[in-house]
Amino acid sequence: MADKVLVFYGSYRSDRMGIRLADYLVKGLNARGAAAELVDAKAVNLPMLDRMYKEYPKGEAPAAMEALAEKIRTADAFVFVTGEYNWGPQPGLKNLTDHFLEEWFWRPAAVASYSAGRFSGVRSGSIWHSILSEMGMVVISSALAVGPISQTLDADGNPTGGAGESLQKAFPRFADDLAWWTEAAREQRTRKAPPY
User: Over the stretch 34-91, which tens digit does the pLDDT of each residue have?
Assistant: 999 999 999 999 999 999 999 999 999 999 999 999 999 999 999 999 998 888 899 9
pLDDT of residue 88: 87
Per-residue pLDDT tens for 93-132? Answer: 999 999 999 999 999 999 999 998 888 999 999 999 999 9
The number of residues making up the chain comes to 196
Contact 119, 87 (CB under 8 A): no
Does residue 6 surpass a pLDDT of 90? yes
Q: What are phi and psi of 115, to 5 degrees?
A: -160, 170
Taking the C-alpha atoms of residue 38 and residue 22, their distance in angstroms, rounded to an integer, is 7
Domain residue spans in the chain?
A: 4-191
pLDDT of residue 85: 86
Contact 111, 128 (CB under 8 A): yes
85's CB contacts (< 8 A; 6+ apart) are 91, 124
pLDDT of residue 118: 84
Average pLDDT, rounded, for the chain = 96
Q: Is the pTM of this model over 0.85?
A: yes
pLDDT of residue 86: 86
pLDDT of residue 77: 98
Q: Return the CATH number of the domain spanning residue range 4-191.
A: 3.40.50.360
Contact 129, 111 (CB under 8 A): yes
